[in-house]
Amino acid sequence: MSSFAEMIENITPEIYQSLKLAVEIGKWPDGRKLTQEQKELSLQAMIAWEIQNLPEEERTGYMGRQECQSHAEPIPNILFKSNDTLH
């Protein structure tokens, strides 16, 4: 595989679930501990896969529409502008 994007294209739902579990518990299925670099790369791969394959409300970090208790206006999403998404 020559690029990160190509790698993401080759992740199956089963591989995604394995990566997700490994990040959650900090260990690979065989019990070996993930290094910090492995955690970071696995999380990046998970998030990239989710962007391509899951609806927004099922993705890692989704918090739903946020509203300020003292105002009726929604709190803007400061991480992404709506035109920054890939879909």
Question: pTM of the full predicted structure?
Answer: 0.66
pLDDT digits (tens, 9 = 90+) for 29-77: 999 999 999 999 999 999 999 988 888 888 887 887 766 666 556 666 6
pLDDT digits (tens, 9 = 90+) for 16-28: 999 999 999 999 9
- CA 49, distance to chain mean position in Å, is 7
Q: Which residues lie closer than 8 Å to 30 by C-beta, 6 or more apart?
A: none
Q: Which of 20, 60, 48 is nearest to 28 (CA)?
A: 20
Contact yes or no for 87/73 (Cβ under 8 A): no
